[in-house]
Structures are given as C-alpha cells and as structure tokens.
Structure 1
Amino acid sequence: MIPMTLAEVASIVNGELSDSSLADRMVTGNVEFDSRKVGPGDLFLALEGSRVDGHEFAEDVAASGAVATIATKDVPTAAVYVGDAIAALTKLASVVARRSEAVIIGVTGSNGKTSTKDLMAALCESHGPTVSTRENFNNELGHPYTVCQVQPETRYLVLEVSARGLGHITHLTDIAPPDIGVVLNVGISHLDGFGSIETTAKAKGELPESLGSDGTAVLNADDERVAAMRARTSATVLTYGYRQPAAVSATALESRDGRYAFTLTTPSGQAHVALQLWGEHHVSNALAAAGVAHTLGIPVSQTADVLSSAGRRSQRRMDVFTNADNVTVIDDSYNANPASMAGALRSLAAIPTSGRRIAALGLMADLEELSHSEHSSVGTLAAQLGIDEVIAVGEGTEPIVAAIRDVATSTHGTHTGDQTTAIELIRDRVRPGDTVLVKGSRYRTWDIADHLRGAQEDQIQ
C-alpha cells in the first residue's frame, strides 16, 4: 500500500484509533484479510464470515508484525474501529488509487476477463512494476483489496472488473478511475442479475463511460455490441479484432494443433505471434492485450515476444496436462457460460489425441429461462464437432444429452446425477491416450477435474 500513518488511515475510513498513541505508526505493507498472509508493516482487515471471524486472529497477526487491525468490534490489540469493514477498505483503496501515479487499466467482458488480464499483466510487467488482480478478485472485496496492493513504485495497475447487474462497474471504477478501459465481449451470462443480453451490454458499457477524454477505450470490433460502445465514451477509441477491420488485428491465422499463430498488426507495426495458450478464443484475448500495450507505448516486437511466451497463470482455465494414466486433461472447470463452453469444445476437437475425445460438462448457471435451449445447443455442437463421448453432470444438464440423441451422430451422451457418479463412469470408460475436457460453472465439475489430475505427470507447454 502507499505508506501512511494510522492517523491517516483512521481519517480516511472515518474510524477511531483504539489508542491515540498509535497515530504515528506507519503502514508500509499491504492490507490483508487472510491472517495467514499478514507480515510486518501490514494492516489486517478483520471480516466476519459465516464460519470464521477475523477478529479472533487479531493477536496472531499482531505477533506476525501487523501494524493494526481494522475491526468492527473489540480486539485486544492495536485497532482502527469502523462500522463497516468493506466500506472502510473501499475508502482506503480510493485514496491509494488517487495518490498513486500508476496507469490504471480495467478489463471487463462476459468471458475471457481473467485470461486477458493475465496477458495484460505480463505485458505491463515487461515494462515496469505492476500490480494485477489475483485469480478473479474482481468484486466488491477483491477489487479494493487489489488496489491497496499498490506501492509507490507501481507503474501499472491491471484490474479485472466484474458485474452481476447495472451499476456494479460504475461502483468499481469510482474506486479506481481507469486510464484505459477494455471491453472484450457481451454474451449470455449472469441473467439472474442482468435479465437480458441488452442489459448486459448496458452494464459492460459502464467501463468506457467511466473514462475521461484523456483516456483510451479498447473495444472489440468483432462484437457488435462492444463496437457500439464507441458512442458511449469521450475517450480515444482503439479497436481490435480479426474478423472485422480493426486498428489492432491478426492475419495469417494458423492453428498449431489447437494453439494459434498469427501476424499481429498495430498502428506501430507488425510482428509474428505464436501463442502457447490453447484455444482460438485466446487470439482475441491477445489482441485486446496488444491494444493496451500499444496504448502504453510498448514496442510491437516486445509485445509479440511476451504474448508468445505467456503461459497460463490462473487455475482451472484451459489447463492442459497429461496425468499418470497417460490421459490428456483439459481442465477448464473454473466457470462456464455458452460462449466459453463452445470455445472449450472447439479446443477439445482441435487438440491432437491418439484416443477418444471425451467431455465432462456441468451446468452453466444463471441462464434463467434460456437454460434449456443453451444446454441443448451445447449438445448439438458437441455432436457436430464429433466429440466421441459427452458426460453431462448434474441437474439441468439433461438437455445436452437429449440434443446429442436428436442429432443422431456417433457421439455418445450420458447423463449422471452428480460428480461422484461421473467419476465412476470416467474410471470405467477413459483409457490411456484419451483426451478429456472438464467444464462447468464453478464447483460443479471441480471434483472430476481433481480426480483426473490425480498424480499429475507433466504440464503441456
């Protein structure tokens, strides 16, 4: 965090020091809400959870070197008392963002945010000290937490900006106003919060709307709803894409067994990129990252080198490995919506394999009235792609199997009620040389992925 005294912290968060003699103590480290991560100079944020109360660890973090605890109830150590811990963190993050000289980059979209954020972070790190969102810490807690990781020397702050409804992105950009805003796509996701794809587009458009006239909006020309956001910002607009004309583009696209190479063109020149990441969707993600790099003045040759060497940083996202049973596993189980499910299936169809291609697919959550039709579309696509076997896991995935049977191809579809049954089926049917995709919303296929990981043998690079 930007160093400040406890008196400053208390003033910013409208809090009260447990002892006035603490006023001149300096916070020189980070703000942490996980007591296990607290070190000397840190500020501990005590959160009351359903199972664990952070206040119980105040003495432990003090022993680890914490300067004080931000608390909502009495603790026996140095503290800044507040009425609302998350509100206090938000106020602190807002001041940190405004005191920092870092360029703030925000990225949003219905899918691909985390992978693109990781590519942007890699590019920024090649140019200077960078702080970026860890995993998917992109909500009301994770966003200000990430901002508070900024140090005086931080040159770039890369933030994944998430939303489940209107106004969410506006709230997050108020905390840390971005200099560059990137919108990847608008798709069918979180319909429990958005209600419609039109509302989703309106919500995602809050990011370019937040930019000032001196900012840059990096917009996907291949998504018409994103391209239309040009009218919603006073910032300079830089487009990217490889299907529609764009300022940052990919030509001479070539699949290398599921990983793609292309010629990157930006307003500052051209260079060859050969991605290490699996799936055609990463071409678009890489172009978005290249648009940010161009805006920051990073040479196109350096951009191409970083994109070509970048590996997967976040868990359960297109993690391709071979396990001890000589089964190739594509663990893309972190989350799922219709667009990301289709991309994962296409990746499964493209990856080289000596055996069969098998997909274990869990529910795509929060699709509301579109759930039946979208799961049915997944089954149709799997059959059209020639996937050998699909195991649909859990309630709500029955339309996947029904659609496969309607298409009447060689694809075999089976529905299982839970992950335990699916694992038993996999034990029985999967053989050495097979390739298995695991995909679903959040935890719905994690047990299957962990079973297949087992004694992981090697990572495919």
Structure 2
Amino acid sequence: MVPMSVEEIARAVDGRLVPGSEPAAQVLSAVSDSRQVKPGSLFVAIPGERVDGHDFVPRVGQQGAVAALVNHEVPSTAIAQIVVDDTVSALGRLAKANIERRRELPGDFDIIGLTGSVGKTTTKDLLASLMSTLGPTVAPIGSFNNEIGLPLTALKIDASTRFFVAEMGANHIGEIARLTRIAPPDTAIVLKVGVAHLGEFGSRERIAQAKSEIVTGLLPNGLAVLNGDDDHVTPMASLAPGKVLWFGKEGGHGPEVLATDITADTDDHAQFTLHTPEGDHVQVHLGIPGLHNVMNALAAATVALHYGMTAQRVAQVLAAQRTISPHRMALSTVSRGDARFTLIDDSFNANPDSMKAGLEGLKAFTAKDGSKPYRVALLGAMLELGPDESRLHAEVGRFAAGLGLDAIITVGSTADPHLHDMAEALASGARDVDGVSVDCVESIDRAEELVLDLAANHPDTVVLLKGSHASGLSALAERWSND
C-alpha cells in the first residue's frame, strides 16, 4: 500500500473519523481478516453471514492496527475508527485512491485485468509468473476477484509495483464495470464466454455482455486481448478504445499469438508451437497439466510479449510454472492402506465447460509406463445453471461416460436435496452410455470408500475430483492431502 495517514483515508472513503490513540498515524496495509493484522494495518470490519468483523475491532489494536474502517462506531476501542455507511463500498474507494496515488508516483505502472467464464485464476497465476520477471507484480491469492477480494489485493500495490494483475469475476450485469471503476485496466483479457452462472444471467449473450464490461472499462487507448476462437468474444473488438490483440488455436480471426501442433505428454502437460507477431516459432511445454490450459497460456503469453518479453523467455517461464492456486488440476499421489492412486484435484469450482475440460484431462492421462490407467471421475454438482440445470448435468454425465472412463462416481448430499438431485442427474446421464461403472453416493465418506476400493484393486488408478465448492469435494481433497 502507498502509505496514507488515517485522516487521508477518512477523506478518501468519505468517512467520519473517530480519533483514537494515533489519529495521525500512517497506514501501511489494509486487511479484513483480524489474523492478518500487523503493525500499521487498517482493519476493515465487514459483516458476514457467520462472522461480523466489528466483533474484532476492540482487540486488533493490540496486534498493531492503527485504525479500523467500520459501519458503526464500536465502543471500548482504543484505535481510530473511520465510520462509513458501507465498509465494502468504502473499501473499493480506498483501493481506487491507492491506485491513483501509485499512478502519480514515478515509474511505469500498468493494470492488467482479466475475465472469462473459465480459466481466470489459472491465467492469472501464469500471467503473474510471467510479469514478475519484468517487474514487481501484485496478483490475488486464489480467486480474489469480487468487490472485496479485488480491492484488498489492490491495496497491496505500493510505490515499487510495476504490474497489478486483476482477476475480475461477475455473477450479475454491472459487477465487472464496478471493478473497472476501482481498477481501470491498461490491458484487458477476455478468455471465454461459457455457461458459468447461467442461472444468474439467463443466457450466454447476457454473460457475454457482462464480460464485455472489462473492455469498455479500459483506460483510453487501452489494449484488449481477446480469444479469437470464441464467437461470443470476437464482437467485443468493436468496443475496444484502442488496439486489439488476438490469441487462439484456429487462426480464423488472424490471431497475433497462435498455438499449433498441440499434443500432450503422459502427464497431460500440453506441448505446442507458439507463433508470435514477429514471426517467432517457439516450442512450449507447459509445467501445469491440462490441454485446456493452452488457451490460458496463450492469453498470458500475448500480454507478456506485448510488454517486451521474448518468446523464448515466455516458453521458459511457462515450463517452470508448476504450481497454481489450490484445487486446480493439482497432481499428487495418495496412499491409504492398500490403496495408492494419482489424484487430479480440480475441485475448486465447476461449470459445464470446466467440467468437460477436466474430464478430457482425465481421459488423456497416461501411466508412467505408457499404459492406460484405471480412470475414475469423482464428480459433484454444478451450481447457478438455472432452469436447465438437470439437463446440463445429465449432458456432462453422458459426456464423461462417452470418453470411455472406467468408473464415474457422483456425490450428492443427505443434507441438501438439491445437491443430491444434481448428482443423480449426472449419474443418470452417465448411465445412458453402456460399459461404464456408475455410482451415485450421498457423502464424500462413501465416495472415499469406493475410490479406495477401486484403487486397491487397480494398481494404476487416477482419480479426478471436480465439482462446485458446495459439493464438498475440496474437503475430500484436503483430507487426502493430509495423509
């Protein structure tokens, strides 16, 4: 954070300052989690469904906080309080002020915003690894891409920051527009328009409208980096205030950055030829698994090339990037009793597009000796798909079974009938295809029993975990990671 006094913060957020022990103190960071408070912090009290941040205000001073941003004055508090109508909105105003202060300082500074129905967080991770080789880079941890996560990340920008990689998500029209008002991008990436949050938006066209807000939110003459293979993305070029760069695999829209000769190794790490506008042809071998990550890598490469990185250096960094945010196509080996198997943990979230991509990754997985492993898909419900959710789940189930997998286990819930209905729909679709073992279970405990039994009887087993967070599969991944 670019240091501000408590009084300056109060002005930036249009708040009322209640002086504490050090009303003129300098604020060096901002956090909403009391466990992250350190000397010089501003503590942002956000009311939540289970926990109200205001309950922690009286004690954060003991950890070094110099002020708190609050919706109402909290008694028995020694530190300064800045009272606002809405701490979330005020957090956005403070982040905007921090960005403006950085732009006023010497040295180049660029915001790279990105959005899309799938691939945002992986692309963010790849992009951050690339840009950090060009200068100090701030990027969110995990999927901090909403009205709270983005401002908190933006408040990590300081006088030395060269790049801010800003992931921008949306559940409704207008949300990305609000984020771009906080952090107006110099460069904006649109990855793909899929059917994530279809239930909220109502149609893919409305999803495209929401994603296009990142392009209209660009600074004057800002750069739009667009997926030339997505017919819902290509019309966004007409909205761009400046130059447009295309990336893709098909070449139909004349992409400046193109991937050809795409294959995968035995661990499903993509290999391809990267073509650049300067005529370079460089071999790339991704360090993270998943053929679908070719498009994510292309998007990140397009931006890195634009900012001056050589194609050879891009290839080196992409090959070295082996870890991404948790629960996204993460490979590990699990051993429990007589069972030992390879886990592909992609359980952070799910929608039909990302579910199919994960399943294709499972299909492509090859054992170390080159043989075909015993492939198990452990699938949970996908949320926010609207009135067609049952059909979409059944479609994904049929898709999974059609890949020739060995076993499909869908996980529902005894406590949530809706989650269980969606798991049943997945299983029902899978049972439309002969030759695949299909089970629908009511808990991750029962799912674990089935997986361990299968792995004990098939030495070369690989298991894909994929489902929305509410399905509980990420909890199973955490359980296995602690073995």
Q: For this structure pair, what is the TM-score category when the shorter chain's length is used for normalisation?
A: over 0.9
Q: 1:454: how far off? A: 4.3
Range that drifts further, 33-42 or 46-55: 46-55
1:435 to 462, 465, 470: 462
- Decide which of 181, 194, 205 is 2:212's aligned counterpart: 205
Contact 2:146–2:170 (Cα < 8 Å) also in 1 = yes
Shift of 1:52: 2.6
Counterparts of 2:349 and 2:263, CA distance in 1: 27
Is 1:380 aligned to 2:381, yes or no? no
Classify 1:308/1:42 alpha carbon distance in 2 versus 1 (closer, same or farther; 3 Å): same
Q: Tell me the C-alpha RMSD between the 2 structures.
A: 1.7
Give the counterpart letter for 2:149 in structure 1.
G
Q: TM-score, normalised by structure 1?
A: 0.94
**Partner secondary structure for residue 165 of structure 1:** coil
Q: CA deviation at 1:59?
A: 4.1
Report what 1:253 is aligned to. Answer: 262
* DSSP 3-state at the match of 2:270: strand
SS in structure 2 at match of 1:8:
helix
**2:441 paired with 1:416:** yes
Alignment size in residue pairs? 453
Give the Cα separation in 2 of the matches to 1:20 and 1:274. 56
**Aligned with 1:163 (options 155, 164, 170):** 170
Q: Partner of 1:13 in structure 2?
A: 13
Cα distance between partner residues in 2 of 1:183 and 1:378: 25
- Percent identity over paired residues: 40
1:259-279 per-residue CA deviation (whole Å, 9 max, x = no partner) reads 111121122333221101111
Q: Which residue of 1 aligns with 2:140?
A: 133
* TM-superposition CA deviations, 1:4-23 (whole Å, max 9, x none): 11111111111122228844
Partners of 1:362 and 1:43 lie apart in 2 by 39
Equivalent-residue separation in structure 1 for 2:384 and 2:315 (angstroms): 37
Work out the CA distance in 2 between the residues paired with 1:335 and 1:234: 33
Matched AA of 1:82: V
Q: CA deviation at 1:367?
A: 1.0
My pick for the range that moved more, 424-433 or 158-167, is 424-433
Query: Partner of 1:458 in structure 2?
Result: none
Q: Is the contact made by 1:208 and 1:235 (CA closer than 8 Å) also made in structure 2?
A: no
What does the per-residue CA deviation read over 1:55-82, in whole Å, with 9 as the maximum and x for residues that have no partner?
3333432122212111222241222222
CA contact (8 A) 2:199 2:387 kept: no
Alpha-carbon contact 1:360-1:436 (below 8 Å) kept: yes
- Residue 398 of structure 1 is matched in structure 2 by 424
Cα deviation, residue 423, structure 1: 2.2
Give the match for residue 352 of structure 1: 366
Instruction: Report the counterpart of residue 190 of structure 2 in structure 1.
Output: 183
**2:477 matched residue in structure 1:** 449
Is the CA contact (8 Å cut-off) linking 2:126 and 2:300 kept in structure 1?
Answer: yes
Q: Give the corresponding residue for 2:74.
A: 74
Counterpart contact for 1:329–1:452, Cα < 8 Å: no
CA gap of 1:450–1:105, structure 2 versus 1, over 3 A, is: same
Q: State the distance in 1 between where 2:222 and 2:311 align.
A: 21
Which residue does the alignment assign to 1:65? 64
Q: Secondary structure at the match of 1:44?
A: strand
**1:336 match:** 350
Task: Give the Cα separation in 1 of the matches to 2:246 and 2:271.
Answer: 20
Distance 1:31 1:447 in 2: 29
5+ long unaligned stretches in structure 2: 104-108, 413-419
- Letter matched to residue 383 of structure 2: A
Equivalent positions of 1:5-154 (< 5 A) are: 5-19=5-19, 22-27=22-27, 29-72=28-71, 73-75=73-75, 76-78=77-79, 79-101=81-103, 102-154=109-161
The CA distance in 2 between the partners of 1:361 and 1:271, in whole Å, is 37
1:362-418 residue CA offsets vs partner (Å, 9 max, x unmatched): 01111112212222222222222110000011111223222232222x211111123
Partners of 2:20 and 2:348 in 1: how far apart?
46
1:179-200 superposed Cα distances (whole Å, 9 cap, x missing partner):
0000000001112211111100
Question: For residue 301 of structure 2, what is the amino acid of its counterpart?
Answer: A
- Contact 1:7–1:22 under 8 Å retained in 2: no
Q: Deviations over 1:202-260 (max 9, x none)?
A: 11111111124421000001111111111122221000001234110112222112111
Q: Which deviations, in whole Å up to 9, do the C-alpha atoms of 1:60-109 show, x marking residues without a partner? A: 32122212111222241222222221121111011111222320010000
2:382 corresponds to: 364
1:129-156 C-alpha deviation (Å, 9 max, x unpaired): 1111111111111111111111111010
Is the Cα contact below 8 Å between 1:334 and 1:443 reproduced in 2?
no
Q: Give the letter aligned to residue 107 of structure 1.
A: L
Tell me how far 1:429 sits from its aligned partner. Answer: 2.7
Q: CA deviation at 1:30?
A: 1.3
CA distance in 1, matches of 2:123, 2:328: 12
